[in-house]
Amino acid sequence: MSLEIVFKEESYKIVGACYEVYREKGCGFVEAVYQECMEIELRLQDVPYAAKHSLSLEYKHNPLRAKFEPDFMCFGKIILELKAVTTLAEEHRAQVMNYLKATGLELGILANFGHYPKMEIERIVAGKGRYAAARPG
């Protein structure tokens, strides 16, 4: 059984940038501070990204007026969602999963800068692990 890591090199660069921001700033700031720091760090580490890029949604093939804005789209294929909360909760994971479903992308990274003494980082792969579709039967 192969346990290949999805977008290994790209995700290591993103996670490394997150740890660098946490090392410099620590926890205790609001999410907007980490958002701005991450923009700088991703740029410094030559990670291509789009910040708060508005993406369209649809329902039964009908476009919705509502849009969604993941914190970052990195390398054009990885969603990076930032949090600054005491601990990650299921609704944060669900948010990333919904972003993956809506975009058809395979990998999301959920980074929580509010956790002490270490930041929390989770890789969320669409259709894998706890996010695999339930099989009838």
pLDDT tens string 73-128: 999 999 999 999 999 999 999 999 999 988 899 999 999 999 999 999 999 999 77
Quickly list DSSP for the chain: ---PPTTHHHHHHHHHHHHHHHHHH-S-S-HHHHHHHHHHHHHHTT--EEES--EEEEETTEEEEEEE--SEEETTTEEEEEE-SSS--HHHHHHHHHHHHHHT-SEEEEEETT-SSS-EEEEEETTSGGGSPPPP-
Domains of the chain, start order = 8-129 (3.90.320.10)
Its pTM stands at 0.88
